[in-house]
Structure 1
């Protein structure tokens, strides 16, 4: 009947289409605002009506949506609806985080979140709880604690190379070093050695390969677009580089990185096809580990493997480099805390002919506090992480969150919860080291690596790198100085680009290693 009514009207098809679209969008907005199961939750009506609100703050305002969410929590309380499908929780006492990011309960991810990276065939990008368990179980053995301890000599070898580069830089009188880029060369060489069984040798680069740092930043920044428009990724991948370079020069670096990893996987797949399965050696790379696992064949395809490689390398590079950068800054900015760390390292090393082992360093309370504070104030990722309890209603105070609702929470909110971390913006290693249990109970509220069944698989390796690097740098070098530093400009979090970013005017954390202030040789700790 509607068809005959419409066909009898003397209107143009274009006008008719416009009218239908208006009716559709009006109906959608009415449903989202008044009929949706989430309509009972407080928050901005505009944000509840359309994702364009989030797009404006994420893309146009360049990573400001996380800060807007914190404003809403101050206005509306601990539970806020932040878009048509999702609520965000600022956990008052820190316990609800462990309900959402549970270790044993079924928790899916939100496809709106995972699709932005174009790595849906990986553990990180998996929506389904059950499929994630299959993919995670295949990779777990590669990251077990015993593997980390066996890898310690390789980390130390890379640290020795870092110290050589610092000495060269100092002797050549090249001035202050850009520490985030320098540390990222270290962390990249470590993670590529660990995951690929050969180092990309960024520490050998005379300029410390700043293009690699830009690649990771551009990958993160690109996610602000692809979260809203996930179809952009396959389009860009299908275009020639010259066209992509014209549209977005930085994106070419991302595509080159993906191809480099894909070529590695192709070589390994070809090697496996030629080799007698009975003669295969123990897994040498993450790809060998996955191929040797009991996952079904469809999970061992080229696309699955190279995507997993990209995620592992991306997660193990800049995030760890940022922790090292900020920890270095805070120690140099707080001489009394730096002195406590140096005294502890010196006392522990007394009468020892060899460097303190990783296990020995892990037992030092103040060093542990320094590392945990560096992790807390660098957040891991600043963007919100999302989980879905597909069959379970979750309750917070007097609010019931319906099953199937995407629930997001943020490290920024957790790590600046003043009830848990008083004076939360200060760098205070004593909040850990002065606890009777060494801060073990407080670590429950540290979510730099997330929590639960999807906690970052590389947490053990990252902590080992950070502990060994901080111990090495601050044992070897006695005379380090921050150069041309302003906290608000160069350090303070100003943009959530998935990874934490300072202001656009930032010159980075720059450190001068003075010629008259070296300690022991590069073998120390």
Structure 2
């Protein structure tokens, strides 16, 4: 074996030379030859993805704030990675997030949550259109308005839980309560049966921890998507050992798959994969997809379960964050809360207004819009690319296929559009003409052909909850400051500073308004 050491040394030397040569060539290409080399930005960001990894994983969600620094230094368009650009110019938003021009997503974004077969996870715009089309009517404003009795029943359950909590004389974590409400709504609507989180006297705080764990894992490992896939392959006990909060995610995915098989089994003559009896009503999102003109390969249980899982995870969490942020700002600004209650007392004295009537109340809807502006439930950039056409930004030609991101926080905190942007000022929306102008720059749900599908549902949930809860209850904040709602970390969703206890309140009084549902 005497020959081993010289041969091994030669192999190691050769590999080292190859590695150094490849690394040098890659650096030269990315910094000087790449089609993106002309764009301004930090050289280290252009050189390696480890730059982003450092800010998002080691510093926990700080890359968005570093991008803001880049714009201050380099201007409105910057290169933020070897492959990606970012633009901070409100007037360009409608171009990037176009309604009529094809836009692909970036795998860097869609690969975060292990649902590549969902509409959210679809990179290609053609595949997205196929998957999205049968879902659109299910979330139309007309369809959501017909959902009002169920929404009101859920709000009443939420109020019942808050009344019961009052007797404890302990602080209530409002995000837990609102997340139970919004999740029960979207699950009931999409699956035909509720998770019954509102029936739990504690408002199922574990689900809130689970949602937080999903986004944190997605952000920290988005450059290593195989790790997310590994979680899918491991047994549940092993995943829970690694991260206990991920366990319920697996359970929910398994349940979605079970329900998908049940519905397909019941709808397909001669197909019997299970002896379980189907108890779900007709008219669920499952049924809408199964009865659609989707190609047969798009109707398999695994894909349908991914679709519903993403709807549930996104539909509950973002609206819950909005309601939580609104709670803080209304309780921190008694004059705003008083004005809201005055409008409700004047326009809805008996508490019997319909959702359509709520949609026309000036101050109530202004409170909702200002809450959407400040919450930034999705804090990260949402990349889009033009698949085969050059996109022009001023004098800059952006090559086809290049992911370009914009960030809602930058839009919503632009002082030229929203003066005193850090402050909660519903009055800025009260003038109808000014509201039309400002709504152009309100991008809480993104825009274009790939904007959030659940806008009508989210707005209905917010209006009904605000109009009911802040009339029914007297509350005061408990050891909560603006730092508990101000976004300090971009973990896909906006998170406050580390260690924040969230928005907590003491329930002081139930007003017992004799409104609908009493």
Which residue is equivalent to 1:173? 168
SS at match of 2:505: strand
Alpha-carbon offset, residue 264 of structure 1: 1.6
Alpha-carbon offset, residue 16 of structure 1: 1.4
Task: Map 1:465-476 to 2 at 5 A.
Answer: 465-476=461-472
Paired residues of 2:382 and 2:407 also in contact (CA < 8 A): yes
Task: Go from structure 1 to structure 2 and tell me whether the alpha carbon gap of 1:275 and 1:23 turns closer, same or farther (over 3 Å shift).
Answer: same
Q: Is the deviation greater in 398-407 or in 20-29? A: 398-407
Which residue is equivalent to 2:275? none
Which residue is equivalent to 1:195? 190
- CA distance in 2: counterparts of 1:282 and 1:382, whole angstroms: 36
SS at match of 2:397: strand
- CA distance in 2: counterparts of 1:295 and 1:519, whole angstroms: 48
SS at match of 1:80: strand
Structure 2: gaps (5+ residues):
1-5, 272-279
**Are 2:424 and 1:427 aligned?**
yes
SS at match of 1:440: helix
Task: Go from structure 1 to structure 2 and tell me whether the alpha carbon gap of 1:21 and 1:413 turns closer, same or farther (over 3 Å shift).
Answer: same
Alpha-carbon offset, residue 349 of structure 1: 1.5
Task: Go from structure 1 to structure 2 and tell me whether the alpha carbon gap of 1:9 and 1:275 turns closer, same or farther (over 3 Å shift).
Answer: closer
Task: Go from structure 1 to structure 2 and tell me whether the alpha carbon gap of 1:296 and 1:282 turns closer, same or farther (over 3 Å shift).
Answer: farther
**Are 2:495 and 1:501 aligned?**
yes
Task: Go from structure 1 to structure 2 and tell me whether the alpha carbon gap of 1:436 and 1:208 turns closer, same or farther (over 3 Å shift).
Answer: closer
- CA distance in 2: counterparts of 1:176 and 1:348, whole angstroms: 32
Alpha-carbon offset, residue 233 of structure 1: 2.0
Q: Is the deviation greater in 501-510 or in 320-329? A: 501-510
Paired residues of 1:355 and 1:524 also in contact (CA < 8 A): no
Which residue is equivalent to 1:3? none
Question: If the length of structure 2 is used for normalisation, what is the TM-score?
Answer: 0.94
Paired residues of 1:80 and 1:87 also in contact (CA < 8 A): yes
Q: Is the deviation greater in 286-295 or in 109-118? A: 109-118
Which residue is equivalent to 1:50? 48
Alpha-carbon offset, residue 9 of structure 1: 9.6
**Are 2:512 and 1:523 aligned?**
no
- CA distance in 1: counterparts of 2:300 and 2:71, whole angstroms: 44
* Per-residue CA distance 1:71-94 (angstroms, 9 max, x = gap): 111111100100000000011xx2
Which residue is equivalent to 1:138? 134
- CA distance in 1: counterparts of 2:181 and 2:245, whole angstroms: 22
Paired residues of 2:385 and 2:403 also in contact (CA < 8 A): yes
* Per-residue CA distance 1:229-260 (angstroms, 9 max, x = gap): 11112222111222222323333232222112
- CA distance in 1: counterparts of 2:270 and 2:160, whole angstroms: 40
Alpha-carbon offset, residue 361 of structure 1: 0.4
Which residue is equivalent to 1:233? 228
Which residue is equivalent to 1:38? 36
Task: Map 1:206-225 to 2 at 5 A.
Answer: 206-225=201-220
Which residue is equivalent to 1:513? 507
- CA distance in 2: counterparts of 1:111 and 1:418, whole angstroms: 32
Structure 1: gaps (5+ residues):
1-7
**Are 2:376 and 1:379 aligned?**
yes
Which residue is equivalent to 1:260? 255
- CA distance in 1: counterparts of 2:94 and 2:434, whole angstroms: 21
SS at match of 2:419: coil
SS at match of 2:494: strand
* Per-residue CA distance 1:92-143 (angstroms, 9 max, x = gap): xx22010000001011111222112221111111111111111111111211
- CA distance in 2: counterparts of 1:238 and 1:499, whole angstroms: 26
Which residue is equivalent to 1:5? none
SS at match of 2:383: strand
Alpha-carbon offset, residue 274 of structure 1: 4.2
Alpha-carbon offset, residue 15 of structure 1: 2.4
Question: If the length of structure 1 is used for normalisation, what is the TM-score?
Answer: 0.93
Task: Go from structure 1 to structure 2 and tell me whether the alpha carbon gap of 1:155 and 1:275 turns closer, same or farther (over 3 Å shift).
Answer: farther
Which residue is equivalent to 2:315? 316
**Are 2:111 and 1:115 aligned?**
yes
Give the count of matched residue pairs: 505
Alpha-carbon offset, residue 175 of structure 1: 1.6
SS at match of 1:305: helix
Which residue is equivalent to 1:82? 80
Which residue is equivalent to 2:277? none
- CA distance in 2: counterparts of 1:302 and 1:27, whole angstroms: 46
SS at match of 1:40: coil
**Are 2:412 and 1:418 aligned?**
no
**Are 2:10 and 1:12 aligned?**
yes
Alpha-carbon offset, residue 438 of structure 1: 6.5
- CA distance in 2: counterparts of 1:152 and 1:275, whole angstroms: 37
SS at match of 1:385: coil
Which residue is equivalent to 1:342? 341
Paired residues of 2:352 and 2:515 also in contact (CA < 8 A): no
**Are 2:143 and 1:150 aligned?**
no
- CA distance in 1: counterparts of 2:281 and 2:60, whole angstroms: 46
Q: 1:100 aligns with which of 96, 102, 121?
A: 96
Q: Is the deviation greater in 396-405 or in 150-159? A: 396-405
Task: Go from structure 1 to structure 2 and tell me whether the alpha carbon gap of 1:79 and 1:10 turns closer, same or farther (over 3 Å shift).
Answer: same
**Are 2:248 and 1:247 aligned?**
no
Paired residues of 1:332 and 1:480 also in contact (CA < 8 A): yes
**Are 2:272 and 1:273 aligned?**
no
Which residue is equivalent to 2:27? 29
Q: Is the deviation greater in 336-345 or in 244-253? A: 244-253
Paired residues of 1:226 and 1:232 also in contact (CA < 8 A): yes
Task: Go from structure 1 to structure 2 and tell me whether the alpha carbon gap of 1:9 and 1:444 turns closer, same or farther (over 3 Å shift).
Answer: same
* Per-residue CA distance 1:177-210 (angstroms, 9 max, x = gap): 1000111000011111111111111011121111
